[in-house]
Amino acid sequence: MVVHVGPSIAHVLSATQRNEIMLAVMKRSENDLRQAIALSPHEIHGRDSGGWTALHLSVNWPTGMLILIEAGADVDCVGTVVGRSLLDIGIGIDSVELLRILGEADCSFAKGSDSCQWYYLRTLELYDPRIIAREEYGHGPISHHGRSSLYSKLSTASTTMAQLLVIFIANRRERLCNLAFEKVPSSVLARLFPRKTDEPYIIDEKASRLAQELTSRGIAVPPALNPGKRGETGYHAISGRPELAEILWNAGFRDVNGRDSCNMTPLMCCPIETLLRFIDWCLGKGFALNLDIEQDRAWYSGNADELDGLRPGQPLETESVYCKIYALGSLEKYHRSAQKPFVDMLVSCETDRPIAQKIFMASPTDSCICACSISGCTTRTFLFKGFNDLRGRPCSGYLTTRDMIKFYSDFEDVCSSLDAAEYLRLITFERLGLTHTCCRPHWARHSQKSHICIGREQRNTVQFSRPMSLSEIEEIRDEELADLQKLAELLVEFEAKVVELDLPIPDFISQYWEPRMEQVLQENEGSLDKETLRELGMKIYSSEGTADL
């Protein structure tokens, strides 16, 4: 037999520890509330057995909440049992009125827990029928790297709530700046603000630094103005939702390519589900998505040991959009193993298809001079690398011909056409086992500062190493000169055969490319002569077992 403890029983259990102020709130009586506060003002911060204060119990009674705030109730109080702040509750029940009251009372946006679950609010259903078991409550983007409460609240808010929340954030950033203008030397401020432009600008990426400059000078930053220590922007937390990005933009937030304390841009934090639409929104605002990400030693002043060997401003060659495209390739591999079509993962609705075509067919190349691509890596080559899961090693034998054909076919489903020469170059490069001299991804520990987010779990990250020096690249090319020449010869041959045979690329790969590559690899196995083996330090033995010196 299953016994269900309903709201009425919960009400009885917690009512035994409620003071007169709480009971007045429960009755929604202004007179009783004012009298209770006058008789026992110290009880305004009291809690019931559920850990809630009178202010928590007034969430659906604005008049009572205003009376409590006027009497000195703490708008930043959190539930002791479940850790919910009033702002968490307001966003959870989608109450614009509650958010407005709390914002005007200067509540802190950094109080409470990042992760919200609907069952934390079950006890409050007694007091507000709007607080119901909402399955979606708190199921916004999973907090990556301990995302600060300020922006986790923005990410879980509805569009209407987000508009009001952004207004309050902008107001507080302006007040933080005004405080800094009074207390911080202009020479320091010049490093934190962009050059003057006609466009509105609200400090976002460097708001944490601005607060640190104040505290380092012994100037207290009010809790309401404290942006937190993560250094992230509003764009980091919106899960790539274009409607929220537009709200931030219209309010004057411009740090779309801003970096957080882990050196990640908003695009790197964007979930796959909204990636295409967020990229399209960024392009519409004129942002270049191949922005180089740089390390900044000053930002990690407290973690200098993690930056040994890195010069201030030393660039990582990986562009933001390429990091996420590599992630797409990795997820495509997962979806393949789960027998889910790539097109279903990448294109969640028909409006995504033209965006995908724009991104994959007209994307810029990077500065890579690796022979795996014609004139630099593109989003297409990065997608394939992610699928092939390079991890910095030659990939010969990693993918079967069937994999290569299926990848090509799936990609055509998304983008209609794919450059055959580019794809043949890439798969031939892989099959020959040549070494990539472009950026090389490898799995990294969460504590490393230059990693790129692929998944939503902290351990599921990949780091792109810094580019090789020209001397390293030349050394590799000298060692693989024969195979590079063979690559060039094969590509000329394949180009001619594609025209001659007039086959679809998938058929060409299976009927001509695969047998030809098998032949080439067999020839390579027996191509080392005795002199070459001696140069490699190997001894050659005769059939009698004696060394042939």
pTM, two decimals, is 0.71
Sorted by sequence, the CB contacts under 8 Å of residue 370 that are 6+ apart come out as 377, 436, 437, 438
Instruction: Report which of residues 475 and 136 the model is more confident about.
Output: 475
Proportion of the chain above pLDDT 90, given as a percent: 27
What's the rounded mean pLDDT across residues 21-38?
95
- Dihedral, CA atoms, 399, 405, 411, 415, nearest 10 degrees? 150
Proportion of the chain above pLDDT 70, given as a percent: 62
What's the rounded mean pLDDT across residues 263-283?
80
SS3 61: coil
Instruction: Report which of residues 194 and 256 the model is more confident about.
Output: 256
Residue-averaged pLDDT of the chain: 72
* Per-residue pLDDT at 509: 93
**Tens digit of each residue's pLDDT (9 = 90 or more) over 486-508:** 999 999 999 999 999 999 999 99
Q: How confident is the model at residue 467 (pLDDT cuts 50, 70, 90)?
A: low
Q: Are 462 and 454 in contact (CB under 8 A)?
A: yes
* Per-residue pLDDT at 408: 81
Between the two ends of the chain, the Cα-to-Cα distance in Å is 87
| Chain center to CA of 237 | 8
Q: Residue 410 above 90 pLDDT?
A: no
- Residue 177, φ and ψ in degrees, nearest 5: -65, -45
What's the rounded mean pLDDT across residues 66-84?
83
Structure tokens at 515: 């047998």
DSSP string, 287-350: --TTPEEE--GGGGGGGGGGGTTPPTTPEEEEEHHHHHHHHHHHHHHHHHHTT--HHHHH-SST
* Per-residue pLDDT at 294: 39
What's the rounded mean pLDDT across residues 259-274?
77
SS3 104: helix
* Per-residue pLDDT at 533: 53
Q: Residue 136 above 90 pLDDT?
A: no
Q: Quote the crossing angle between the two packed helices 20-27 and 30-39, to the nearest 10°.
A: 170
**Rounded to whole angstroms, how far apart are CA atoms 230 and 147?**
7
Highest mean pLDDT among 139-143, 266-270, 426-430: 426-430
Q: How confident is the model at residue 537 (pLDDT cuts 50, 70, 90)?
A: low
* Per-residue pLDDT at 348: 63
Q: Residue 40 above 90 pLDDT?
A: yes
What's the rounded mean pLDDT across residues 130-135?
34
Q: What is the 3-state secondary structure (H, E, C) of 362-392?
A: CCCCCCCCCCCCCCCCCHHHHHHHHHHCCCC
* Per-residue pLDDT at 120: 36
Q: How confident is the model at residue 460 (pLDDT cuts 50, 70, 90)?
A: very low
Amino acid at 2: V
DSSP 547: B
Q: Residue 274 above 90 pLDDT?
A: no
SS3 113: coil
Q: CATH classification of 1-139 is 1.25.40.20, yes or no?
A: yes
Q: How confident is the model at residue 130 (pLDDT cuts 50, 70, 90)?
A: very low
Q: Residue 484 above 50 pLDDT?
A: yes
What's the rounded mean pLDDT across residues 469-487?
89
462: enclosing H helix or E strand: strand 461-464
Q: How confident is the model at residue 297 (pLDDT cuts 50, 70, 90)?
A: very low
Q: Are 164 and 96 in contact (CB under 8 A)?
A: yes
Render the burial of 182-217: b for 16+ CB within 10 Å, e for the rest. eebeeeeeeebeeeeeeeeebbbbbbbbbbbbbeee
How do 461-464 and 441-443 pair as beta strands?
Answer: antiparallel
In which residue ranges of the chain is CATH 1.25.40.20 found? 1-139
**Tens digit of each residue's pLDDT (9 = 90 or more) over 192-243:** 887 666 667 889 888 888 998 999 999 999 988 988 777 788 898 888 889 9
Q: Residue 121 above 70 pLDDT?
A: no
Amino acid at 305: D
User: Any bridge partners for residue 462, and if so which?
Assistant: 443, 452
Structure tokens at 312: 């201030």
